[in-house]
Structure 1
Amino acid sequence: MHTMSMRLVSGGTYNVRASEMAAHLQERQQKSITCMVHFLDDSQEAFEVDKRAKSQHLLDKVFDHLELVEKDYFGLQFIDLTPAPDTMGHGSHQSAGPYSLRWLDPLKTIKKQCRGPPFEFFFRVKFYVSDPSKLSEEYTRYHFFLQVKRDILEGRLVCPHNTAALLASYAVQSDLGDFNPDEHREHYLADYQFIPSQTEEFEKQIAELHKQHRGQTPADAEYNYLDKAKRLEMYGVDLHNARDQSNIDIQLGVTSVGLVVFQNNVKINTFPW
């Protein structure tokens, strides 16, 4: 064991134990860091990456884990522990309570961007396509389906009640298959959550619509889900708070077709690319 070191502080001295010094030295000598990635299906996986490697190395490991072919639509987000300002003018942030979510830059190291350990990331759709039902890979569509479902549940994608029920019924068909009166008794949807304030009446509406989807495979149901979701006015809109010339609160949305302006979740202007 090393001799304990002594440091002078105001009013006296304190000991720094050799074990603490050894732990600090060990941390400096570690060549890799552990990154926990949370996926859209609520699973999670730990990945070991070289602490000096660019973040693209982590992205590559995640894509390999998922066996994703169409990689360019997806990215990893992390919680930026710097409190989010009231007005955000850059596309790198999304609100996450008092903090914000930032996209991991693949050209920089992880430790240059994130505080940790722990290093936690969220796998998300980064670029929404205008017609996700036409994506060439079924597995890519599956992740878009999971993302849009999460967008509605977390209130980022505003959706009329009847449309939300129809979308939810496709999600149920994807998960449970055809409606079966022997298995799917009253309240069989009680453990599902599709919208922020879900009611029993809403679940009954979903159940009635679920009965109409007999014969649809999970891939069929997810295709139909995305075909309906793409028509929502706020589908794929990444909103950022701003103020106009009259100091009125607005939201600027970046989409695949151009820049859109919303006020109180109502689109008031569009500027095509």
Structure 2
Amino acid sequence: MSRGHGSEMTEGRHCQVHLLDDRRLELLVQPKLLSRELLDLVASHFNLKEKEYFGITFTDDIGQQNWLQLDHRVLDHDLPKKPGPTILHFAVRFYIESIAFLKDKTTVELFFLNAKSCVHKGQIEVDSETVFKLAALVLQEAKGDHTSDENARKDLKTLPAFPTKTLQEHPSLAYCEDRAIEHYLKIRGLTRGQAVVQYMKIVEALPTYGVHYYAVKVNTFTWQFHNAHVFL
């Protein structure tokens, strides 16, 4: 790890923490602030009690995702040197076999938001049929029961429902919407909480849930390996 440079070591550094509910927390990180203290600050915005499952990540200058080490000062990490606020992400770091073992509904909600984001960004490998089922549950969780295909299509265009890979594998967005709506009609009457639980049951069964892939360059070859997150 390398220490920050210039005035940031005396004046702090502007950071923007992206939260799982799409809020963004702007703050000036002071030189002595520990990563653990920053995590505590972020967790307080959710009134989060089970914060041991979470962490804060940043992407360095070579595109590698890194976790802030809790016992190190934030500014002692190799944060990106580009101008502007440093972008940090609050995310699930340590996974659990099932959300049924979580004690607090806020933690369950954050695990759901984290999973939904990972699916949408293609960070979890999901076959198309499963994507369509998950998209239907995203609709049910966000909008409740199906009212019309027109409304469902409009909502699917704004909700994080389809990974880019899925859209590329099929003839059109309309086709993907049709398949998602087929499943959406089958889950009428599901409560928001039930939709979250069903979504998580499907995602938790996927082989790459809780796994993050890194690209590593060795000499002239690029290798890809995965780092399986610890399941508590």
Tell me if structure 2 keeps the 8 A contact 1:133–1:227.
no
* 2:180 pairs with 1:206: yes
Structure 1 unaligned residues grouped into runs of 5+: 1-23, 84-98, 258-273
Question: CA offsets per residue over residues 173-202 of structure 1, 9 Å max, x none?
Answer: 111111113972655423334221432111
Q: Given the superposition, is the C-alpha separation of residues 185 and 253 from structure 1 closer, same or farther in structure 2, using an over 3 Å criterion?
A: closer
From 41, 49, 60, the counterpart of 1:69: 49
Code of the residue aligned with 1:146 in structure 2: it is: L
From 210, 225, 231, the counterpart of 1:251: 225
Tell me if structure 1 keeps the 8 A contact 2:216–2:223.
yes
Tell me if structure 2 keeps the 8 A contact 1:242–1:251.
yes
Q: Hey, what does 2:65 align to over in structure 1?
A: 101
Paired residue secondary structure (1:171): helix
From 121, 134, 154, the counterpart of 2:121: 154
CA distance in 1, matches of 2:37, 2:87: 15
* 2:60 pairs with 1:80: yes
Q: Hey, what does 2:20 align to over in structure 1?
A: 40
Q: CA deviation at 1:115?
A: 4.5
Q: CA deviation at 1:230?
A: 0.9
User: TM-score scaled by structure 1?
Assistant: 0.69
* 2:191 pairs with 1:217: yes
Q: CA deviation at 1:34?
A: 3.4
The answer to which structure has the higher helix fraction is: 2
CA distance in 1, matches of 2:40, 2:103: 20
Identity of aligned residues (%): 27
User: TM-score scaled by structure 2?
Assistant: 0.80
Q: CA deviation at 1:57?
A: 1.4
Paired residue secondary structure (1:52): coil
Tell me if structure 1 keeps the 8 A contact 2:153–2:177.
no
The answer to which structure has the higher strand fraction is: 1
Q: Hey, what does 1:127 align to over in structure 2?
A: 94
RMSD, aligned CA: 2.9
Structure 2 unaligned residues grouped into runs of 5+: 1-5, 168-172
Rg larger in structure: 1
Q: Hey, what does 1:194 align to over in structure 2?
A: 162
- Considering Cα pairs closer than 8 Å and 6+ residues apart, tell me whether 1 or 2 has the greater RCO: 2
Q: CA deviation at 1:118?
A: 2.2
Tell me if structure 1 keeps the 8 A contact 2:213–2:224.
no
CA distance in 2, matches of 1:240, 1:101: 8
Q: CA deviation at 1:241?
A: 5.0
From 106, 122, 137, the counterpart of 2:104: 137
Q: CA deviation at 1:40?
A: 1.9
